[in-house]
Amino acid sequence: MIDTHCHIDFEDFDHDREEVIARAKDKLNHVIVSGYSNDSNMDVLKLSKDYEGFIYPTFGFHPVSSQNATQEDIEIAHDNIRRHLDDIVAIGEVGMDYYYVTDKTLRERQQEIFRSFLKLADEYKVPIVMHVRDCEKKAVNIIEDYDNIPYFVFHCYGGSLKTAKRIMNRDDSYMSFSTMLCYSKHHQDLIEKIDLDYVLTETDSPYLAMTKEERNEPVNVVKAVHKIAEIKDMSVSEVDEITTANARKIFKI
């Protein structure tokens, strides 16, 4: 199994990061740690060097942060991506967040920055991991402008089934499902109807734990895989095989 999206560089893990990684190693094949800022990108790179072959990094800039970032901040992110193309497995997380951000001007700024990362992924033919909360349909429309990006990942997909069907009509797009599957009826209804050939698994640690009091961690991706198997009436090993193969193909790990 592979946790394709987590943030174990966060300070939430400062006191027991080694133990968290050890628990993940015991159950998982790999963990992908997603950068969300210029500092975070460097942190996830270091983690990938410290745990080479198990942890893989992506470099991104979270949309809620990007809307207030200076142009210099964004250019630094672009430069770091170019400099570390051989180290990272994707660009992300980047995108737009219409759940937290309702201001039209800020949304336009998010889209402008999102497109700058899409352009970079298109230029260098790199997969892109997208945070597009409450604007999944818009994101599907936007990515149609880019022909050279090998794969698009809709991180923590929570859009409509109609939009999911549009994604499944593409041969380059995937939806990642998190541990939210264990308690979110919307996500359970979605996964019931979505073909696993378009599905990845993740935790988004430290977020999306089973309860508000808990801290999520990568090993919990096992719970998401088991829930998918239960919902789709499949064996855990079959769900694991399909979703892991999808991740290996996209991220080349």
Residues 173-215 have pLDDT tens digits of: 999 999 999 999 999 999 999 999 999 999 999 999 988 779 9
How much is the pLDDT for 52? 98
As a whole number of angstroms, the longest Cα–Cα distance in the chain is 50
- Which amino acid would we find at residue 231? I
Domain ranges of the chain: 2-251
pLDDT above 80 for 132: yes
- Residue 238, pLDDT > 90, answer yes
Q: DSSP label at 180?
A: G
Instruction: Name which CATH class applies to 2-251.
Output: alpha beta
* % pLDDT > 90, the chain: 96
pLDDT at 211: 81
Query: How many angstroms separate the CA atoms of 63 and 109, rounded?
Result: 9
pTM reported for the whole predicted model: 0.97
238-to-3, 199, 244, 249, 253 alpha-carbon distances in Å: 17, 13, 10, 17, 19
**Cα 201–69–142 angle (5° rounding)?**
50
CA distances, 10 to each of 47, 60, 65, 81, 160 (Å): 11, 15, 15, 20, 30
Report pLDDT for 68: 86
pLDDT > 90? residue 16: yes
User: Among 36, 34, 113, which Cα is nearest to 72's?
Assistant: 113
